[in-house]
Amino acid sequence: MRDIVFTRASGWIPNVIREDGELKLMLGAGADANHAPRTFTFPIGEAHLAVIREDLARHLLLWSAVIPLCDAAGTRGGLDEDAAVALLDPILLSAPADVDAFFRHIRWDRGQLIAHGADIDLLERGQVCAAMRAATETSNRKRAQEYDANRRRAERGTVLGPLDAALLRYTGQYVHGATVPRRMPDAVDPALLTEVMRVIATAEQACAGMRICRDPRRGKRATDKRDWERMAATVDAAVRRAHPGLVDDAVRTVSFLMCSEAADRSRSAPMEDDEEPAGDRSDFGGGARKTLLSFTDDKGVEKEWRADGPRTATAVFWEFVEDRSAGDNEVFTIEDEKMGEGIQLHFYADSLARITTVREGEGGADPEYRVEYSLVDGIGGYRTLVSAFVRGGCAALDQHGSWIADAAEFERARRRRDAD
């Protein structure tokens, strides 16, 4: 039978229970293999209970020292009760100076104490008892997270100035640098907000007109990595030039914000239309704009596009790719059966083949095709080639890249490109 003998307002601080007549400290820490919280107990005495009841600071210090033992138990192991019991007298019953000395030789959870109001400067000087004079039962996890973030920055030699910190708070990345940034002006000290907005304006001006397009090869929400890198570099250079005193973390958070917002705009918009209005097509090799096309993938799935439909060929094709592209489905074909020509996109090899019917098959003979290959420079290169084919057929591709008819020669060129 288990009865709760003493508990504090915060349910996370260890409770004292009586189990089968024995006093025990009970705490939750870590998780089991199924990600459910683990609970640990170990025996304590009446003298320990008396201190726990009256002295919040000592209670919290004991908790911080037991947590590493719980961590060591992992997802299945048992608590080292002997080690836990050995913490009781030195932490709960010793003089403050002896407690400080004891903590210099054991593992303990600093973040837990900081979350409960410990004085950080005193903790770092090893004066743990004095640091806990302002301890509170309520926990402020954000305070501990910010401490950990600053400690990690210090380990790599980064010290934030007031404006650096304000920019990280504005984007919500002060604690977690991997968090998707957003605009949080209320998180910034009002005295620094004007200066923060000046930096943001510099970034916005630098990337005005730039876009991060979708990359349908990688799914519905993927965007072009090269576009992202190009925008980040542009913003980075402009911000460093206009605000040379900012540390790398602050500059990166601003460029990350600009790129994330641009990528979100692209994801929420319809698939980009790469075609141009009808008009003079002399630049496209004299071919006629397509009126009926068939799209297929490497799994044999087919989609038809007609010019009298509501969408352009490029938009429909890239949506088809977005829906169908996968690690085992990286070859897509666009065919104009009437004109006897088509292109085949090889995403796995960053290459494209254009295929032209030289002679129709007669009397049961197979048709004769001319196949030429070209290397492709990222999703932007694919978009250019697809758009040119839709506007003017295979002839319109002459001006885009170098075309190689010999498959072996092309493979050597591809390997040279990949090696470089």
How confident is the model at residue 32, as a pLDDT? 83
Tokens of 396: 């319109």
H or E segment at 152? helix 141-155
| pLDDT average, residue stretch 147-152 | 92
**Per-residue pLDDT reduced to its tens digit, 81-94:** 999 999 999 999 99
Indicate the residue type of 261.
E
Percent of the chain exceeding pLDDT 70 equals 95
Domain residue ranges of the chain, discontinuous segments joined by +:
2-143, 158-268, 282-419
According to DSSP, the residues that pair with 276 across neighbouring strands are none
Using CA atoms, how far residue 136 sits from 63, 118, 132, 231, in Å, is: 14, 8, 9, 46
Q: Please state, in angstroms and rounded to a whole number, the distance separating the CA atoms of residues 36 and 283.
A: 65
**Per-residue pLDDT reduced to its tens digit, 257-283:** 999 999 999 998 887 666 654 444 444
How confident is the model at residue 133, as a pLDDT? 94
* pTM score of the predicted model: 0.77
Quickly state the pLDDT bin for 289 (edges 50, 70, 90): confident
**Per-residue pLDDT reduced to its tens digit, 124-137:** 999 999 999 999 99
**Per-residue pLDDT reduced to its tens digit, 161-199:** 999 999 999 999 999 887 899 999 999 999 999 999 999
**Per-residue pLDDT reduced to its tens digit, 200-244:** 999 999 999 999 999 999 988 899 999 999 999 999 999 999 999
How confident is the model at residue 278, as a pLDDT? 43
3-state helix, strand, coil in the chain (%, to 5): 50, 15, 35
Contact 5, 16 (CB under 8 A): yes
Using CA atoms, how far residue 401 sits from 225, 381, 396, in Å, is: 22, 10, 11
**In 81-218, where does DSSP find H-type helix?**
81-88, 96-103, 110-115, 120-124, 128-131, 141-155, 162-170, 190-206
**Per-residue pLDDT reduced to its tens digit, 384-401:** 999 999 999 999 999 998
How confident is the model at residue 106, as a pLDDT? 96
Q: Please state, in angstroms and rounded to a whole number, the distance separating the CA atoms of residues 235 and 98.
A: 54
Quickly state the pLDDT bin for 10 (edges 50, 70, 90): confident
How confident is the model at residue 135, as a pLDDT? 94
| pLDDT average, residue stretch 70-75 | 92
* Strand, coil or helix: 176: coil
Tokens of 369: 């095709």
Quickly state the pLDDT bin for 284 (edges 50, 70, 90): very low
Q: Please state, in angstroms and rounded to a whole number, the distance separating the CA atoms of residues 295 and 379.
A: 18
Instruction: Kindly report which listed range (40-44, 77-81, 347-351, 359-363) carries the lowest average pLDDT score.
Output: 359-363
Tokens of 366: 């197979």
| pLDDT average, residue stretch 15-30 | 93
